[in-house]
Amino acid sequence: MNLNDSSLFHSQCLIGGQWVDADNGQTDNIDNPATGEIIGTVPRAGTAETARAISAAEQALPEWRARPAKERAAALRRWHDLMLTHQEDLARLMTAEQGKPLAEARGEIGFAASFLEWFAEEARRLYGDVIPSPNPANRLLVIKQPVGVCAAITPWNFPSAMIARKAGPALAAGCTIVIKPAQQTPYSALAMADLAERAGIPAGVINVVTGDAPAIGKAITDSPVVRKLTFTGSTPVGKLLMSQSAQTMKKVSMELGGNAPFIVFEDADLDKAVEGLMVAKYRNAGQTCVCANRIFVQDSVHDAFAEKFAARVAALKVGPGHKDDTQVGPLIDQRAVDKVEKQLQDAQARGGRLVCGGERLEGNFMTPSVIARATPDMLCFREETFGPMAPLFRFSTEEEAIRLANDTEFGLAAYFYTRDLGRTWRVSEALEYGMVGINNGHVSTCEAPFGGIKDSGLGREGSKYGIDDYVETKYLCMTVD
Ligand SMILES: NC(=O)C1=CN([C@@H]2O[C@H](COP(=O)(O)OP(=O)(O)OC[C@H]3O[C@@H](n4cnc5c(N)ncnc54)[C@H](OP(=O)(O)O)[C@@H]3O)[C@@H](O)[C@H]2O)C=CC1
Ligand SMILES: O=C(O)CCCC(=O)O
The ipTM of this complex is: 0.95
228 CA to centre of own chain: 17
pTM of the full structure: 0.98
236 lines ligand 1 (CB under 6 A): no
Q: Are 321 and 99 in contact (CB under 8 A)?
A: yes
Protein residue closest via CA to atom 28 of ligand 1: 214
From 212, 207, 252, 258, select the one nearest 59 (Cα to Cα): 207
Give pLDDT, residue 20.
98
Nearest residue CA, atom 9 of ligand 2?
Answer: 444
Can you give the residue ranges of every domain in the chain? Answer: 6-256+456-477, 260-438
The DSSP letter of residue 360 is: B
**444 C-beta closer than 6 A to ligand 2:** yes
For ligand 2, is residue 158 a contact (CB within 6 Å)? yes
The number of beta carbons lying within 10 Å of the beta carbon of residue 125 is 11
481 residues of the chain, pLDDT tens digit each: 789 999 999 999 999 999 999 999 999 999 999 999 999 999 999 999 999 999 999 999 999 999 999 999 999 999 999 999 999 999 999 999 999 999 999 999 999 999 999 999 999 999 999 999 999 999 999 999 999 999 999 999 999 999 999 999 999 999 999 999 999 999 999 999 999 999 999 999 999 999 999 999 999 999 999 999 999 999 999 999 999 999 999 999 999 999 999 999 999 999 999 999 999 999 999 999 999 999 999 999 999 999 999 999 999 999 999 999 999 999 999 999 999 999 999 999 999 999 999 999 999 999 999 999 999 999 999 999 999 999 999 999 999 999 999 999 999 999 999 999 999 999 999 999 999 999 999 999 999 999 999 999 999 999 999 999 999 999 999 999 9
Question: Is residue 145 left, alpha or beta, with left meaning phi > 0 and alpha meaning psi from -120 to 50?
Answer: beta
Set 255, 384, 398, 461: catalytic member:
255
| Among protein residues, the one whose CA lies closest to atom 33 of ligand 1 | 213
CATH superfamily of 260-438: Aldehyde Dehydrogenase; Chain A, domain 2 (3.40.309.10)
Contact predicate 172/67, CB 8 Å? no
Closest CA to 365 of 392, 387, 383: 387
Mutate to test the pocket of ligand 1, among 26, 28, 100, 153 (most ligand atoms within 8 A of CB): 153
Relative to beta strand 260-264, strand 413-417 is parallel
6-256+456-477 and 260-438 agree in CATH topology = no
pLDDT of residue 1: 79
Buried b (16+ CB within 10 A) or exposed e, 430-457: bbebbbbbeeebebbebeeebbbebbbb
Active site residue 255: yes
Q: 6-256+456-477 adopts what CATH topology?
A: Aldehyde Dehydrogenase; Chain A, domain 1 (3.40.605)
Q: How far, in Å, from the CA of 290 to the mean position of ligand 2?
A: 6
DSSP helix/strand/coil, 440: coil
Cα–Cα dist 115/107, whole Å:
13
Separation of CA 155 and ligand 1 centre (Å): 6
Q: Is the CB of 207 under 6 A from ligand 2?
A: no
